[in-house]
Chain A
Amino acid sequence: MSEKEIKNLEEIFEAKIARDEKIEPKDWMPEKYRKTHIRQMSQHAHSEIVGMLPEGNWITRAPSLRRKVALLAKVQDEAGHGLYLYSATETLGISRDELYDQLHSGKAKYSSIFNYPTITWADIGAIGWLVDGAAIINQVPLCSTSFGPYARAMVRVCKEESFHQRQGYEIMLTLCKGTPEQKEMAQDALNRWWWPSLMMFGPTDDQSTHTEQSMKWKLKRKTNDELRQQFIDQTVPQADILGIKVPDEDLKWNEETGHYDFGEINWDEFWQVVKGHGPCNKERLQTRVDAWEGGEWVRDAAMAYAEKQADKKVKKAG
């Protein structure tokens, strides 16, 4: 194709997105659109899969059967969300194996929040409340993103997420109404998860490199800073109800702006964790790789069985 032809196709493509028409897998798309989507969608899928690990840690130690079935269901949902997103990514012409390989080799990223440890039961509450809360704010706008398979997967994901957040908040609420020790545990979890949750919205707008293009493709509808502010504004009153304190001395309601003012985020920590130096980066990736490699013989056996059954059928027919 000549440069002129490509330019023409690109114009038609951009106009389609501007009209809110969806792009489907077999439609022509600029290479950059394909690559950006593979990167973002697979990162999203990887985050769901790795996100199972910090919580899976507590399934066997959940304090009651009610909490245990809820946590099991939540972790199973996350596996499901990873699968919706992987198969949506595959429609862009990349295989599941390549996607896994990118995760396992460290080439692909996943959300840094999962590189923090879950050291008490209250962390499970804080993750549901804060981490899933932040994820919902990030994800809701994606339900109307321009790439059809991604948008459809996100509709399903968002429908299921709200249970996750509510179960987390209920855990926090129970702890906060419990003994002083239990309330202290909830406060400690909030102290540790608050700032990493704010980092989930990504770098500040002036530092974010992808925002402009992502806005155009409707991969983003609001900027990182806008979403972060929305999260803070809706979460602080929820902490008040729990009767625990957000660990930010500068946090203050601003009558004039109608938003909370908040303190400086430690971006050095953010970049350290992104670059692989968080408390659990190595452990998470290793657990994931071990699970994949340890399961290989099962996958092979299932394939061998399927082939044997298929052969039998052919012989019977013949």
Chain B
Amino acid sequence: MSDKNKNKKKNWPLWEIFVRSKNGLEHRHFGSLHAADADMALENARDVYTRRSEGVSIWVVESKNITASNPEHNGELFEPAADKVYRHPTFYDLPDEVKHM
């Protein structure tokens, strides 16, 4: 690292926080926070998001590493699923006598 970069004021990066509320459930996005590194992000996440036993496991991911889809492209991305009704069980006609299906 050059001296010039060293002297430049650096802000703590942003991290996204995912918490598993209890075993058996998935990690869910809880919010974000700033921290100097991953260890600090974990400790801060513990204090910010689990003060009342809201979690049993935490994931932290630096926000810049997340690639998000663009809502403006939602049409081409998600609409193809809209006309595929045959992917749903109700598409198939069965007589009422057939049970458990």
Is there an interface contact between B11 and A97, defined as CB atoms closer than 8 Å? Answer: yes
Is there an interface contact between B36 and A306, defined as CB atoms closer than 8 Å? Answer: yes
Is there an interface contact between A26 and B71, defined as CB atoms closer than 8 Å? Answer: yes
| With A76-B51, A306-B37: A87-B32 Cβ-Cβ less than 8 Å | yes
Is there an interface contact between A302 and B36, defined as CB atoms closer than 8 Å? Answer: yes
Is there an interface contact between B72 and A28, defined as CB atoms closer than 8 Å? Answer: yes
B contact residues around A305 at 8 Å (CB): 36-37
CA distance A299 to B9 in the complex (A): 10
12 inter-chain pairs at a CB distance below 8 angstroms, sorted by A residue, are A26-B68, A87-B31, A87-B33, A96-B34, A97-B11, A152-B31, A160-B52, A299-B12, A302-B37, A303-B36, A305-B37, A311-B1
Most A CB within 10 A of own CB, among B32, B47, B68, B72? B32
| With A26-B71, A96-B34, A303-B36: A83-B48 Cβ-Cβ less than 8 Å | yes
A contacts with B, residue count (CB < 8 A): 29
B contact residues around A96 at 8 Å (CB): 11, 14, 34
Most A CB within 10 A of own CB, among B34, B40, B52? B34
Is there an interface contact between A90 and B33, defined as CB atoms closer than 8 Å? Answer: no
B88 contacts the other chain (Cβ, under 8 Å)? no
B contact residues around A176 at 8 Å (CB): none
B contact residues around A153 at 8 Å (CB): 31
CA distance A95 to B10 in the complex (A): 13
A contact residues around B33 at 8 Å (CB): 83, 87
B48 to A: closest C-beta gap in Å? 5
| With A84-B48, A88-B31, A153-B31: A27-B71 Cβ-Cβ less than 8 Å | yes
B70 contacts the other chain (Cβ, under 8 Å)? yes
Most B CB within 10 A of own CB, among A84, A160, A300? A84
A226 to B: closest C-beta gap in Å? 31
B67 to A: closest C-beta gap in Å? 12
| With A97-B11, A153-B31, A299-B12: A80-B36 Cβ-Cβ less than 8 Å | no
Is there an interface contact between A84 and B34, defined as CB atoms closer than 8 Å? Answer: no
CA distance A237 to B76 in the complex (A): 58
CA distance A90 to B31 in the complex (A): 11
A contact residues around B70 at 8 Å (CB): 26
Most A CB within 10 A of own CB, among B1, B48, B51? B48
A contact residues around B48 at 8 Å (CB): 80, 83-84
Most B CB within 10 A of own CB, among A80, A83, A96? A83
A89 to B: closest C-beta gap in Å? 11
CA distance A90 to B36 in the complex (A): 17
A contact residues around B71 at 8 Å (CB): 24, 26-28
> Which residues 117-153 of A have a CB within 8 angstroms of B?
152-153
A102 to B: closest C-beta gap in Å? 15
CA distance A213 to B12 in the complex (A): 36
A170 contacts the other chain (Cβ, under 8 Å)? no
Is there an interface contact between B51 and A90, defined as CB atoms closer than 8 Å? Answer: no
Q: A80 contacts which of B14, B47, B72 (Cβ < 8 Å)? A: B47
Is there an interface contact between B11 and A80, defined as CB atoms closer than 8 Å? Answer: no
Is there an interface contact between B31 and A84, defined as CB atoms closer than 8 Å? Answer: yes
A307 to B: closest C-beta gap in Å? 7
B contact residues around A69 at 8 Å (CB): none
Q: A90 contacts which of B10, B14, B40 (Cβ < 8 Å)? A: B14
Is there an interface contact between B40 and A302, defined as CB atoms closer than 8 Å? Answer: yes
A225 contacts the other chain (Cβ, under 8 Å)? no
CA distance A304 to B4 in the complex (A): 14
Is there an interface contact between A77 and B72, defined as CB atoms closer than 8 Å? Answer: no
**Interface readout for A204-223 with B: 1 if CB under 8 Å, 0 if not?**
00000000000000000000
A265 contacts the other chain (Cβ, under 8 Å)? no
B40 to A: closest C-beta gap in Å? 7
Q: B51 contacts which of A28, A77, A87, A95 (Cβ < 8 Å)? A: A77
CA distance A283 to B39 in the complex (A): 35
